Structure 1
Amino acid sequence: MKKTPSDEQLQLDNQLCFALYSASLQMTKAYKPLLKDIGLTYPQYLAMLVLWERDGITVGEISARLLTEPGSLTPLLKRLEAEGLIRRTRSSHDERVVELHLTDVGRAMKARAQNFPACMLECTQQTPDALLALRDQLVSLRSALLKSS
C-alpha cells in the first residue's frame, strides 16, 4: 500500500502534539529524583514556584497562573497544607476567597530547590541560550493556543 502525503501527516513521530507530550513526560521524569529529595510531586512543585514568587495569593490567582481550574487545585493545596508548607485562610474581605500563605517550612524549602535549574540544564544537555529560546517558543505557542480556544 502506497503512503500518501496525508498518511505521512498522521504518523505519530510527525506530530507536534506528541513531541510536546513526550518531552513533557520526560521532563517530569527528570525532575522526579530532585523532587523526591524535598518531598514534592511535580504539580506541588509548580504550585510552590508560584508561591515563592508571590506569597499570599488567592486560589484563583494561583489557578490562573498554573492554567488550571481552581477546583482541581484544592486537593493539591490541602496536601501542601497537611505537610505544613502552606496555610489556607479565608479572606477578611470576602469569605468566599481562599488566600494561600507560605509557612516558615514552605519558605525554607525554596533554598533546597535552588540547584534544580542547574541540574535540569545538565540533564537536558542544552545551552542556557538554547533552553531560553525553546521556552520562549513554547510560551508563544501556548499564547496562540489560549487565544484560539
Structure 2
Amino acid sequence: MTDAPRLNAPRLDAPRLNRQVCFALYSASKAATAVYRPMLDELGLTYPQYLVMLVLWEDQPRSVRELGEELGLDSGTLSPLLKRLESLGLVERRRSAEDERRVEVFLTDAGTALSARSNGIPKQLADAAGLSPAELDQLRETLGRLTAALHSAR
C-alpha cells in the first residue's frame, strides 16, 4: 500500500488563525462592541451613533463632511445615522449661512445632556478589559500607528 496524504492533516506551512493580526483585531473589536452594547442601550444609542456623539461632544458644530472624515464614514453611511440621531432629538442639521452646500450638525440640549450620562463608559470598558490605563494608552497608540500605516499602504 502507498502512503496517501491524510485529507485533514494540517499543513505545516499554512497560516494559523490564532497567529493572524487581522483575526486578533476582528475578535477584539467584536468583544469590545459587545461590552459597549448594554451601556449604549441605556443611552438609546448604537455604537456608530455613539461615535458621532463623541465627536460632537468634543466640538460642535461639525459639518457632515468633517464628521465623515473624522469617523472614516461615507455620506451613505453617515446620513442615516444623523437622521436617526435627529429623530431622537439629539442633533439638529442646518444649512450653513455662509455656504448653503454645507450642512452643519449641532447638538440639541438633549444631546448635550446625554454627554454627562456617558461619562462612565470609558472606565467601564477599561475595567472590563482588565488593562491598566498605561496599557490601554499604549494599545490605543499602537492601533493608531497601525491604522495610519495601513491607510498609507493602500
Match of 2:5 in 1: none
Alignment equivalent of 2:119, drawn from 90, 114, 117: 114
Please state how far the C-alpha of 1:57 moved relative to its aligned partner.
0.6
Provide the residue aligned with 1:3 in structure 2.
11
1:92 and 1:29 mapped to 2: Cα distance? 41
Distance 1:2 1:115, change over 3 A: closer
1:19-34 to 2 correspondences below 5 Å: 19-34=24-39
**Counterpart among 89, 96, 103 of residue 101 in structure 2:** 96
Match of 2:4 in 1: none
Runs (4+) of structure 1 moved beyond 4 Å? none
TM-score, normalised by the number of residues in structure 1: 0.94
Asked whether 1:146 is paired with 2:151, we answer yes
Out of 64, 67, 87, the position equivalent to 1:82 is 87
User: How many residue pairs are counted as aligned between the two chains?
Assistant: 146
Residue 37 of structure 1 pairs with residue 45 of structure 2: no
Q: CA RMSD in A?
A: 1.0
Amino acid at match of 1:136: E
State the SS of the aligned residue for 1:76.
helix
Moved more, 13-22 or 77-86: 13-22
CA distance in 1, matches of 2:10, 2:41: 49
Alpha-carbon separation, structure 2, partners of 1:41 and 1:52: 16
Q: Percent identity?
A: 45
Classify the secondary structure of the residue corresponding to 1:87: strand
Moved more, 53-62 or 90-99: 90-99
37-46 vs 64-73, which moves further? 64-73
Aligned-partner residue type, residue 101 of structure 2: R
**Deviation by residue 1:104-137 (Cα, 9 ceiling, x = unmatched):** 0000000000011111111111101001000000
Using the alignment, how far apart are the partners of 2:25 and 2:55 within structure 1?
A: 23
Q: Distance in 2 between matches of 1:139 and 1:40?
A: 25
Given residue 3 of structure 1, which amino acid in structure 2 is its aligned partner? R
Cα shift readout 1:77-124 (whole Å, capped 9, x = no counterpart): 000000000000111122221100000000000000001111111111
Q: How much does 1:14 deviate?
A: 1.5
Unaligned ranges ≥5, structure 1: none
Specify which structure has the higher proportion of helix. Answer: 1
